[in-house]
Structure 1
């Protein structure tokens, strides 16, 4: 604007117009900005000052210091300037201080909306728009302070082992998704609170950052940066803003139901038995061990159905056990293996010790009824189904394993059937490897287990029948699948005020004995929430009552070192499911060019690069990226090249 007489509009949201003009004069004259502000000029500086005023009087620089200006207001002003005078450049200082055109609790999406509107403005007027933005303070927590593109995003990142639930039912480590595009994941529709498949536009690493490990009441774990956001009843919150006992959103069910079953029922059933009680190590005949004769016979029949004449199964009674040997009938020469071994190898289930076992990914791709069948046979091995009798009769249904991965897989498969099981680590106190129990509790989930999964073998079928009879005569105690009590104040009370309903009237309408505002201290069951929603005419509460969200409480958040982290961009819903927890995504960087200012002397006092600023071009859609060093003159708040220009009044 000064050198080339171009028309420049500067929207300063942080400084007033007077402060901006003062900075411009200091930079042009070389007069210390502090003395310029206080008016303590030296005699020889007055000509420089008056000449600068004359120079700026002939420029076409338009200043606007409207606080919290919205994208709509900014576009209106720029259009007017462009029509009257023409514009060559628009500068916004700075992006995060702009306001949104609509009210939203999600500042991340609001900033993304603002940046997209600035890009639309640039295209509409055919002028460059330069927007300054403040980086997250998280960069100062890293050992390497150089800024990277991910620092611009107001969302965090996950460690590479985070399992992302993708469209076909598989859970894939996020590190394996990096670089891929146009695949679909499961995300929560914020309008309906239902899970849907959504495309991913980008998956990428964001560098090495400090991470924290979060554990929930259901036994789910996730490692993420402190600024990664999780959905609460109050909206999205950063991990470092969450506390123990806070509720976060997780899926109540993953509504995946593949149309095509690619594994036969016999394969799934046999696989369940061999994962649970099978020995599938190399240089050893594949064998299965059980206490129950009918289960041994079941495995024999399944093996024949799957492998036909390639296997010769036999049952060998040994003390209190039955051993089933799946002997091969093939003539084993070089590179010839048994049919059972080849099948297990294809499923990546061969050669694993008990603590290494996992559910093959192919099982996750099956429809719900096939998954239920697999779990039914798996549960017949190391699963427990019993009605404990004593002072308090209670049903116990759990699966036990020494493999943490297998326990997580079983918990995830149960979620496919709408069962929210609890995963707990059971220390063995030096008696062997720790065990992991996946436990099904609560009348609702136990009924789902009985009706969808069931049992194999006379013993467990009998115990499951006892539990079914017990549940029939005992009322449900709702204490897990609830809506956090803050919903009373957030949804119910405002709805009551809108229709002029008192607390006494509301409690009478839902059939509850009047207890004043004491009711607001209790979490809401889904059934109660549905009744309240009808009584107070609250569509928002009805959505929560019918949602796909299970509100899981946090039991711990602990620092967990530094690690390479990753994120996804999910246009539209802006979230995804990882480790069976609903997490926020990264927002796409809309700018065509992204530049950072990095000053090493701000972090390293002994650096040789004192007063040196590195301008890093980190993104350029139509050109190269790189960096250049400038000298920063603090007294003038000015960046200069090594060969600085000296201002002269008569030039």
Structure 2
């Protein structure tokens, strides 16, 4: 592309450097639109092109925001193992609400027609990356100028220079396209493996772990399996992962790779040499190796150097990078084992709602990678502090889960039939129902709850909301806030949590006759403890009929003259019935508040609060017999009522922050925002969703638009109470990893996609004088294809290895 395209003007002067820019706002930052289009077009045409591009382009390298949106959609699909083409990418963008912003499906087709050849996508990506570096250099230069003026105003000069150097370093830091280092490029099948297959009658043995008893139980590590090796810090989990690699590559000549986010490649090789040559690791590090040590090392060096073992110690590795590099190794060297050390240090390279959800996605992605490459993946993981709280310090599989737990009585909102089901019932039946869950734009979607499992005994807290909704959970269970998923033990009274704003019709509706619906309503009004299950499966028009009859027989709609506002209420002695009515009201987008009734014998009361909300109720349901009262309520506002269509005041703060970075004409701002947002003063009041929608349209910002179009409203915490230690459980929801529990959005457990979970327990790691000193337990806590067991091995950590115990 010509210089004039990047710089916006030609060089006419004789100087070697252009003059300092004046007030030239027409100049565009460096970019190459054709290269960006060709990169995306290649990725849409070829899966191999995606792997090539991922290693070159960083998040934010695209100049045009629409291109970045398309790129992110392609990566989302690629990360889930799904095809990325104009049709699937279009669907992904549409689900995120970004399809129109990028130009619609025709633009995706245009991208595929623009690229000269998909085979050159990697070269086009280099051009895009280079232009991005130039843009960052321009931005860094602007900030450095500001730092210089700040230094002139009295800031410490040394600090200013350090910040300026950091800006330049960040610009020049680029990742290599091939960061792993091979111990050898030679890979040959070994006779040991052939002998092993023959001796087992033709049954193929998986990748040997090097531990006889473990291999007897598991038959080795098999293609497509994900194996989690977990322990507390300092127990030796990285060493165990390297033992698997040594067995795979050095002993059996099969290719393996370690993606190490903790140790450098030099440290890894030093540990390998210590384990293979049986030289103390401390002596190697301190330079105290004897002549005998050097001799032992020389004897082993030939076999070690020929091993097809690869190491990648790149910092901040993302899942996409690991997948792309592993694919290339599989193609070139028939990769047989992947070790990732360790799971909690991985980075997604993008902003996420919570660390729990990010790690959960990594777990799922590693399993997909194992299946795609037909190669076992060993993921090293760190356990929570559960073992330290037990007398014997012995780890359990539940210690892997960082996202908290719920009692068995917790009710989950189903999306298949609209009813609720408890975790205990799902655990007992093994059912995997569709449940309501929030997607990335906080919209209600149906996703399967694929598993429910016990998580031991833990302290449980009751969380009570201003709306009267209650849920019980452990301290580390996350709930959705404006700042993402936050564990309960980091929440306080007054914090706002997401609860459903609307519940859609279930996937399966079953219509009853008019008389049957009326009869069910009369039965409930006569004193039932709950709403019958079949009511939740009714289509919305019959839910309306049910609620109309229920209110006609047992409800209350009246004008409270003393307080000058209307009351729409229903009372019952059964808290479960009141909760059920609240769920049915959400089917019609009617929001309610639950509280104790004033009279003790009445029990519980559910009321429809705020004038707007009562109008929705009266318009949708139109209860007969209350015509005059309804007419009185509808036109009159409820005193001091907050609008139903409100978003938290923090959203207005985000709008102001965004305005500071955008150039919007003042008339556009005033017309969209109204007087409340025209100044810089922060407001404690909520803003209407309709107003936020207008603001988002003016700013053309999908993030702000999400707050006006999502399916949640924000309820604040009024009480957190400890209930003591209880048996607790958790579940896993595919893709979205969250569900609605007791009417509140909550996160699920860290995704347990592992085929095997090996927990490493070393008694003398906690007590040096333990009688089992020198021993370690490999606790096979989960084994999808066979029995669980505990294998005792000997640890020789001074030689950086574990070995089989001697058999008598």
Return the TM-score normalized by structure 1. 0.75
Q: In the TM superposition, what whole-angstrom CA distance separates every residue of 1:144-176 from its partner, at most 9, and x where no partner exists? A: 864444543443332211111212121111221
CA offset at residue 423 of structure 1?
0.7
Matches within 5 A, 1:220-619: 220-256=469-505, 259-262=509-512, 264-265=514-515, 267-269=516-518, 271-273=520-522, 275-276=524-525, 349=528, 357-380=529-552, 383-390=555-562, 392-426=563-597, 432=600, 435-455=603-623, 457=625, 461-471=627-637, 477-478=641-642, 481-490=645-654, 493-494=657-658, 496-497=659-660, 499-501=662-664, 506-507=669-670, 509-512=672-675, 516-519=679-682, 521-586=684-749, 588-601=751-764, 608-619=771-782
| Separation in structure 2 between the aligned mates of residue 154 and residue 555 of structure 1, nearest angstrom | 25
Q: In the TM superposition, what whole-angstrom CA distance separates every residue of 1:412-465 from its partner, at most 9, and x where no partner exists? A: 22222221111112576xxx55732212110121112222334455xx554444
2:368 paired with 1:200: no
Matches within 5 A, 1:636-647: 636-643=799-806
| Separation in structure 1 between the aligned mates of residue 524 and residue 499 of structure 2, nearest angstrom | 28
| Separation in structure 1 between the aligned mates of residue 782 and residue 396 of structure 2, nearest angstrom | 10
Quickly say closer, same or farther: Cα 1:613–1:383, change in 2 above 3 A. same
**Alpha-carbon contact 1:492-1:538 (below 8 Å) kept:** no
**Alpha-carbon contact 1:359-1:409 (below 8 Å) kept:** yes
CA offset at residue 380 of structure 1?
4.8
Q: In the TM superposition, what whole-angstrom CA distance separates every residue of 1:14-45 from its partner, at most 9, and x where no partner exists? A: 01123223333443455543444333456765
2:413 paired with 1:162: no
CA offset at residue 199 of structure 1?
3.1
- SS for the counterpart of 2:754 is coil
**Alpha-carbon contact 1:510-1:535 (below 8 Å) kept:** no
What does residue 11 of structure 1 align with? 259
| Separation in structure 2 between the aligned mates of residue 358 and residue 78 of structure 1, nearest angstrom | 54
| Separation in structure 2 between the aligned mates of residue 605 and residue 379 of structure 1, nearest angstrom | 69
CA offset at residue 123 of structure 1?
4.9
| Separation in structure 2 between the aligned mates of residue 508 and residue 75 of structure 1, nearest angstrom | 48
| Separation in structure 1 between the aligned mates of residue 391 and residue 297 of structure 2, nearest angstrom | 44
Whichever structure has more helix as a proportion of its residues is 2
| Separation in structure 1 between the aligned mates of residue 769 and residue 607 of structure 2, nearest angstrom | 57
Q: In the TM superposition, what whole-angstrom CA distance separates every residue of 1:478-511 from its partner, at most 9, and x where no partner exists? A: 35652122223435632x3564127896245433
**Alpha-carbon contact 2:459-2:474 (below 8 Å) kept:** yes
| Separation in structure 2 between the aligned mates of residue 484 and residue 450 of structure 1, nearest angstrom | 26
Quickly say closer, same or farther: Cα 1:538–1:605, change in 2 above 3 A. same
- SS for the counterpart of 2:505 is coil
Q: In the TM superposition, what whole-angstrom CA distance separates every residue of 1:514-539 from its partner, at most 9, and x where no partner exists? A: 76222454322212212322332333
Please say which structure displays the higher CA radius of gyration: 1
| Stretch of structure 1 that moved more, 219-228 or 558-567 | 558-567
Q: In the TM superposition, what whole-angstrom CA distance separates every residue of 1:569-598 from its partner, at most 9, and x where no partner exists? A: 332333222211222234543333332212
CA offset at residue 221 of structure 1?
0.9
What does residue 305 of structure 1 align with? none
| Separation in structure 1 between the aligned mates of residue 313 and residue 401 of structure 2, nearest angstrom | 25
**Alpha-carbon contact 1:478-1:525 (below 8 Å) kept:** no
| Separation in structure 1 between the aligned mates of residue 762 and residue 666 of structure 2, nearest angstrom | 59
**Alpha-carbon contact 2:612-2:644 (below 8 Å) kept:** no
**Alpha-carbon contact 1:576-1:585 (below 8 Å) kept:** yes
2:433 paired with 1:183: yes
| Separation in structure 2 between the aligned mates of residue 259 and residue 124 of structure 1, nearest angstrom | 38
Q: In the TM superposition, what whole-angstrom CA distance separates every residue of 1:313-341 from its partner, at most 9, and x where no partner exists? A: xxxxxxxxxxxxxxxxxxxxxxxxxxxxx
Which structure 2 segments of 5+ residues have no match? 1-248
CA offset at residue 94 of structure 1?
1.3
**Alpha-carbon contact 2:274-2:281 (below 8 Å) kept:** yes
CA offset at residue 252 of structure 1?
0.9
What does residue 110 of structure 2 align with? none
Whichever structure has more strand as a proportion of its residues is 1
CA offset at residue 220 of structure 1?
0.8
- SS for the counterpart of 1:445 is helix
Which structure 1 segments of 5+ residues have no match? 279-348, 350-356, 645-651
What does residue 628 of structure 1 align with? 791
| Separation in structure 1 between the aligned mates of residue 500 and residue 667 of structure 2, nearest angstrom | 34
**Alpha-carbon contact 2:669-2:678 (below 8 Å) kept:** no
What does residue 8 of structure 2 align with? none
Two-structure CA RMSD over aligned residues (Å):
3.5
**Alpha-carbon contact 2:755-2:783 (below 8 Å) kept:** yes
| Separation in structure 2 between the aligned mates of residue 484 and residue 514 of structure 1, nearest angstrom | 14
2:252 paired with 1:27: no
| Stretch of structure 1 that moved more, 38-47 or 252-261 | 38-47
| Separation in structure 2 between the aligned mates of residue 120 and residue 461 of structure 1, nearest angstrom | 59
**Alpha-carbon contact 2:359-2:750 (below 8 Å) kept:** no
2:326 paired with 1:61: no
Which of 33, 39, 61 is equivalent to 2:287? 39
Which of 198, 210, 213 is equivalent to 2:459? 210
**Alpha-carbon contact 1:492-1:532 (below 8 Å) kept:** no
Q: In the TM superposition, what whole-angstrom CA distance separates every residue of 1:237-264 from its partner, at most 9, and x where no partner exists? A: 2223322222221111112267543264
| Separation in structure 1 between the aligned mates of residue 623 and residue 323 of structure 2, nearest angstrom | 65
What does residue 67 of structure 2 align with? none
Return the TM-score normalized by structure 2. 0.61
| Separation in structure 1 between the aligned mates of residue 630 and residue 769 of structure 2, nearest angstrom | 72
Q: In the TM superposition, what whole-angstrom CA distance separates every residue of 1:100-155 from its partner, at most 9, and x where no partner exists? A: 36554454454344445544554565543322122233554567864444543443
Aligned residues: 556
